[in-house]
Amino acid sequence: MVDVSGREIRPPAKVERVYAAGPPASLLVFAIAPDKLVGWTRAMRPNEAPFFAERYAQLPELGRLTGRGNTANVEVVLKAKTDLIVDIGSTGASLASLATQVQEQTRIPYALFDGRIESTPATLRALGKLMGNEAEAEKLAAWYENELKQARQRVGRASSHPLVYYGRGVSGLQTGGKGSINVEILDFLGARNAAAEARSGLATVPFEQVLIWDPEVILTTDPNYWASVWTDPRWRSVKAVAVKRVYLSPNLPFGWFDFPPGANRLLGVWWAGKLLYPREFADLDLRARVTEFHRRFYHREPSAAQLDAMLGEPGVLPK
């Protein structure tokens, strides 16, 4: 079998224990076969653990192996008696060479997959095949594919596409330009990214530039920034703040909008869809969708109280 970087992967006949090198990989391995995941890249925090069955929430912390900063010790990965290492996300040459290197060192097959939202169904199928869980993976992939298709159809019915600014960090001045993985949801939803002309990837922009863009909607992942826009005279001059369309993405147990950049962002597609195209997404029942996503991917439905806390937090949805 060939992974997305073109490297040939020879998995053992029976894959029982999988080490996921980063959060997007953990999430998909867990979704396909929760009992095969040997650990999380970092231990579940107390506010994240209640979303999972206790035995899964208590899986050990093994560290990250690739991407931004390694924290995993290769010996720990070996000690975990892993049959397969999986990473999902960027598939550039440096990651591919790192994968080859670790594979040679450990003699554990190391597969890379594409982490983009649109690639998720294909990634699920390929990963399922590799892990020997094709049936489970196919179910998830088909469902995910259908949800993406429906979201796309809703967007297709929209006559206007709002101008959206994504503000990161406590100052809200960090944003992602066109093609950034951080604003993939905006691109998927056909929204006009106010910062499209900024470079692809994260960048700080001058406040005056935001004022020129004058976005109609602001989405953020930072609760401190969200709280500050209402009293900061600078931000109050921006249209989105004046018309009270600044929204804060939920972040438990994994973020909805930007990070980690994995399959979890389907939640953000629905959420941002409802905010950006209220009419076209009016009949989408967010509570039901979130519940179903959790059931399929996290293997536990959120309680009513958990849903209330997630969706009722100030800024998550219009009042």
Interface ranges with other proteins (CB under 8 A): 64, 67-69, 71, 168-171, 173-174, 177, 195, 197-199, 202-209, 211-212, 221, 223-224, 227-228, 232-234, 237, 255, 258-261
Minimum CB separation from other proteins for residue 228, in Å?
7
Minimum CB separation from other proteins for residue 281, in Å?
26
Which C-beta is closer to other proteins: that of 121 or that of 255? 255
Please state, in angstroms and rounded to a whole number, the distance separating the CA atoms of residues 33 and 52: 14
The residue type of 288 is: A
CA 125, chain centre distance (Å): 18
Q: Hey, CA dihedral for 260, 264, 265, 267, is it positive or negative?
A: negative
Minimum CB separation from other proteins for residue 182, in Å?
9
Please state, in angstroms and rounded to a whole number, the distance separating the CA atoms of residues 116 and 6: 17
The angle, 0 to 180 degrees and rounded to 10, between the axes of the packed helices 134-157 and 120-131 is: 180
Minimum CB separation from other proteins for residue 141, in Å?
25
Minimum CB separation from other proteins for residue 246, in Å?
16
CA dihedral 254, 258, 262, 263 (to 10 degrees): 80
Which C-beta is closer to other proteins: that of 11 or that of 223? 223
Which C-beta is closer to other proteins: that of 257 or that of 297? 257
CA dihedral 83, 144, 53, 259 (to 10 degrees): 80
Which C-beta is closer to other proteins: that of 138 or that of 232? 232
Which C-beta is closer to other proteins: that of 100 or that of 200? 200
